[in-house]
Amino acid sequence: MRRRQVLTGSGVVLGAALGATPIAATRQDDTGDAEEPDPVEFAGDGVTVTEEFEIEGGPTVIEGIHEGASTFDVRAVPDENDREYRLLSHVGPFDGSTGAFLEEGVYALYVDADGQWELTLRQPRVSETEAEEPPVSITGSGTDWIGPILFDGDATVGAVYEAESAFRVDVVPQDAENNDFVWNGRELMFNAIGAFGGVTAVHTDGVGYVTVDAADEWTIEIE
């Protein structure tokens, strides 16, 4: 998957059988304190509804691979209300990561695809001392997930994109309780089609992550 630097993977191998029971246990660090929940993994071919799994609530990263040539759309649907979260929407082959803030609950993934796919969901849990402090400058390509970043409620995000395709940038807070600007699990920064350059304010205060949905190269500046 397209990686740069800030957020490192957990080394989990994809490829769990379709319909396998997801993992719900949490890992322990050397001090005995609970860390982030273990990843939840699924793999399949074509349109599928996965088995249900638990989310503790908070930022949720989805890492995906799609080998099809058409739609690859992934939604997280809770079992107790009508709200759903579109986690990933792409056309064609895909190898990347994105995410959203999910409320605590039991979910299933609704996968719309035309080829083989693999998905891993992780729930990162970090303290403010573990997050990167601005200024942060990152250049990448395609859909990706950046962080953790320590926002102060008065930060700015600048973005440059030179391709002619869709380009979207969001911030996913680790704590969305007091952020009135979060909708569908994200605080929207930019949503454009075609070449773009701009700067906007971030209302997130505390640890957060930046998601980029794009098809080509981009640059993000956080100050």
What integer pLDDT is reported at residue 168 of this predicted model? 93
Report the range out of 5-14, 46-55, 171-180 with the highest average pLDDT. Answer: 46-55
Digit-coded pLDDT (tens) for 37-76: 889 999 999 999 999 999 988 899 999 999 999 999 999 9
Q: Tell me what percent of the residues of the chain surpass a pLDDT of 70.
A: 83
CATH 1.10.10 fits domain 128-222: no
What integer pLDDT is reported at residue 178 of this predicted model? 62
What b/e string do you get for 119-128 counting C-beta neighbours within 10 Å, with b at 16 or more? bbbbbbbbee
Q: Is pLDDT of 3 > 80?
A: no
Mean pLDDT, range 9-18, rounded to an integer: 28
What does the block give as tokens for 197? Answer: 């350059």
Q: Max CA-CA distance within the chain?
A: 50
Instruction: Tell me the CATH number for domain 26-122.
Output: 2.60.120.380
| Closest C-alpha among 175, 200, 170, 202 to residue 186 | 170
| Closest C-alpha among 55, 6, 52 to residue 26 | 55
Q: Which is higher by pLDDT, 117 or 12?
A: 117
26-122 and 128-222 in the same fold: yes
Q: Global pTM? A: 0.75
Digit-coded pLDDT (tens) for 100-134: 889 899 999 999 999 999 999 999 988 899 999 99
Confidence of residue 26 (pLDDT cuts 50, 70, 90): very low
Q: What are the extents of the domains in the chain?
A: 26-122, 128-222
Q: Tell me what percent of the residues of the chain surpass a pLDDT of 90.
A: 58
The answer for 194, left when phi > 0, alpha when psi is -120 to 50, beta otherwise, is left
| Closest C-alpha among 61, 65, 24 to residue 43 | 65
| Separation between Cα atoms, residue 41 and residue 48, nearest integer Å | 14
Q: What is the mean pLDDT of the chain?
A: 82
Mean pLDDT, range 11-20, rounded to an integer: 30
User: Which residue, chain included where needed, has tokens 């640059």?
Assistant: 219
| List of residues 6+ apart from 35 with CB closer than 8 A | 26, 27, 28, 29, 125
| List of residues 6+ apart from 177 with CB closer than 8 A | none
What are the CA-CA distances from residue 10 to residues 86, 120, 121, 124 (Å)?
Answer: 23, 11, 11, 10
Mean pLDDT, range 88-98, rounded to an integer: 91
